[in-house]
């Protein structure tokens, strides 16, 4: 049961409104963000019109700011932007969609001035603008804005998308634009593409060829969004240059649209026209699209053969799961065992380990580690840490081998930044030691520590963390 000092709404209500007001004033002192939030709440207690006025003032203030936003200030800037965005979406727009749309448009217009003075390597601020694009689409539909006016707004967004903040804007606006607005927008985009003006080129500070390519790419992406919105597969394909259609990921996008349109033969042609290099990481979407297309065409055996071949190349569990799902009962169990046996001998032990952890097949992962300990690379910190944590409860020997690989790497290579972690790993290995029933050729924990002391006695940064 919560005590009377537990921080919850019921206990705070007992303080009374006057004391709570005093505390809020005290807490907000020195915090501009908290003060703005309180002012917003006060405005909201009167009307959405008052809230809109407060948001408009804050957005104007942000637009006029010139201070550089370092990575340290990104979090607070993000919080400020999110407060304004959520207030527009949750308070203003439901009561007055037209006012909400004007405010979300003003919010989106902050993109250029903010990104021109920020260091946002994390993409946190960009995410807020992308969400605002989606919000704008919903608000525009509710506001009933004239499609012609909205088409002009979308064009303006596309023309001022120097930082990618308007990337989702065209597809987000498609429902509100409707057929009429999309029909107006398409020629506007083509006209802009064919009639570049010098002021736009100068504003981006780009040379003519680069600017022209930027404009061409921007218009092409917008026209693709229009094609998707109108269900025009051929228009979407036409906006893909011939050379890009040979990129596996693009071929997969085209194929999926053709499949949705019931044109599986053409989908397979698009996929088979791609330039395949055999890189699973870059060609996964192409592989999935091709298997789906073959299935649609009734060529199930070919799809299954491809799935098994792709699994053997990469140990991608998504292909194995799809392969097993299509097998009769009991056949799938036999095939799974065959896949496990193959994975245990896969050249890259770490790829095999990651596969067994994802499946999950922890017993198989433990066998792999115990049979191939010399191949473990303790530098793969994230994989090894995850593996050790997952194996420790039921496979202490395998977990210990993994922990020792990380400890050895840190000490052998003098990775001082990892010494504290290595000491913790050593303590974990010590805790696991009594649970190892059959150590085989593994040194006892005490013997292992003695070896570490002999080889790394001078690594004081490590030993000071060892209990």
Which domains occur in the chain, in start order?
240-344 (1.25.40), 346-467 (no CATH)
Pairwise CA distance, residues 380 & 402, whole Å: 10
Query: Cα dist. 18→14, 30, 311 in Å?
Result: 11, 21, 67
Q: What is the mean pLDDT of residues 73-90?
A: 94
Report whether pLDDT(22) > 70.
no
Report whether pLDDT(350) > 70.
yes
Q: How confident is the model at residue 1 (pLDDT cuts 50, 70, 90)?
A: very low
pLDDT of residue 64: 94
Residue 167 corresponds to which tokens in the numbers above? 């990337």
pLDDT of residue 48: 79
pLDDT of residue 411: 98
Report whether pLDDT(434) > 80.
yes
Q: How confident is the model at residue 206 (pLDDT cuts 50, 70, 90)?
A: very low
Pairwise CA distance, residues 341 & 343, whole Å: 5
- Bigger pLDDT: 35 vs 93: 93
Q: What is the mean pLDDT of residues 119-125?
A: 88
Contacts for 15-21 with beta carbons within 8 Å, 24 or more apart?
A: none
Report whether pLDDT(20) > 80.
no
Mean pLDDT across the chain, nearest whole number?
91
From the CA atom positions of the chain, what is the Rg in Å? 30
Report whether pLDDT(56) > 80.
yes
Pairwise CA distance, residues 405 & 399, whole Å: 10
Query: Cα dist. 206→158, 202, 220 in Å?
Result: 17, 7, 19
pLDDT of residue 33: 63
Give the residue from 216, 217, 282, 218 showing the smallest Cα distance to 248. Answer: 282
Pairwise CA distance, residues 346 & 353, whole Å: 10
Q: How confident is the model at residue 464 (pLDDT cuts 50, 70, 90)?
A: very high
pTM over cut 0.85: no
pLDDT of residue 59: 96
Give the residue from 239, 171, 160, 237 showing the smallest Cα distance to 204. Answer: 160
pLDDT of residue 119: 81
pLDDT of residue 43: 55
Side-chain half-sphere exposure of 224, counting CA atoms within 13 A: 17
pLDDT of residue 418: 96
pLDDT of residue 274: 96
Query: What are the beta bridge partners of residue 118?
Result: 69
């Amino acid at each position: 049961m919560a005590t009377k000092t537990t921080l919850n709404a019921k206990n705070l209500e007992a303080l009374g409104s006057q004391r709570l007001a005093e505390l809020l004033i005290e807490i907000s002192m020195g915090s501009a963000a908290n003060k703005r939030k309180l002012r917003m709440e006060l405005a909201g207690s009167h009307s959405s019109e008052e809230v809109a006025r407060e948001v408009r003032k804050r957005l104007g203030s942000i637009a006029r700011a010139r201070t550089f936003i370092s990575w340290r200030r990104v979090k607070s800037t993000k919080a400020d932007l999110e407060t304004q965005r959520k207030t527009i979406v949750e308070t203003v727009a439901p009561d007055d969609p037209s006012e909400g749309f004007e405010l979300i448009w003003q919010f989106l217009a902050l993109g250029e001035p903010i990104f021109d003075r920020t260091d946002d390597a994390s993409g946190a601020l960009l995410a807020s603008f992308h969400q605002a694009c989606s919000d704008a689409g919903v608000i525009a539909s509710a506001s009933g804005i004239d499609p012609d006016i909205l088409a002009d707004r979308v064009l303006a967004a596309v023309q001022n998308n120097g930082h990618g903040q308007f990337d989702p804007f065209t597809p987000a606006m498609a429902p509100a634009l409707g057929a009429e607005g999309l029909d107006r927008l398409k020629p506007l985009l083509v006209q802009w593409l064919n009639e570049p003006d010098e002021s736009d080129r100068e504003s981006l500070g780009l040379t003519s060829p680069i600017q022209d390519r930027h404009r061409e790419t921007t218009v092409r992406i917008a026209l693709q969004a229009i094609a998707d919105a109108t269900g025009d597969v051929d228009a979407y394909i036409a906006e893909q240059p011939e050379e890009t259609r040979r990129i596996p990921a693009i071929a997969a996008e085209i194929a999926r649209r053709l499949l949705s349109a019931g044109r599986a033969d053409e989908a397979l042609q698009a996929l088979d026209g791609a330039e395949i290099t055999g890189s699973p990481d870059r060609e996964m979407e192409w592989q999935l699209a091709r298997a789906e297309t073959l299935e649609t065409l009734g060529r199930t055996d070919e799809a299954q053969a491809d799935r098994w071949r792709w699994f053997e190349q990469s140990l991608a569990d998504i292909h194995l799961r799809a392969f097993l799902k299509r097998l009769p009962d009991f056949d799938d169990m036999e095939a799974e065992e065959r896949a496990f046996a193959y994975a245990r001998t896969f050249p890259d032990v770490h790829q095999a380990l990651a596969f067994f952890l994802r499946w999950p097949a922890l017993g198989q992962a433990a066998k792999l580690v115990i049979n191939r300990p010399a191949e473990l690379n303790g530098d793969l910190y994230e994989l090894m840490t995850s593996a050790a944590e997952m194996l420790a409860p039921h496979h202490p020997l395998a977990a210990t081998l993994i922990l020792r690989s990380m400890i050895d790497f840190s000490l052998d290579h003098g990775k001082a930044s990892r010494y504290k972690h290595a000491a913790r790993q050593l303590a974990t290995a010590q805790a696991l030691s009594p649970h190892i029933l059959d150590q085989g050729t593994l040194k006892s924990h005490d013997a292992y520590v003695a070896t570490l002391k002999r080889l790394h006695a001078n690594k004081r940064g490590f030993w000071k963390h060892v209990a």
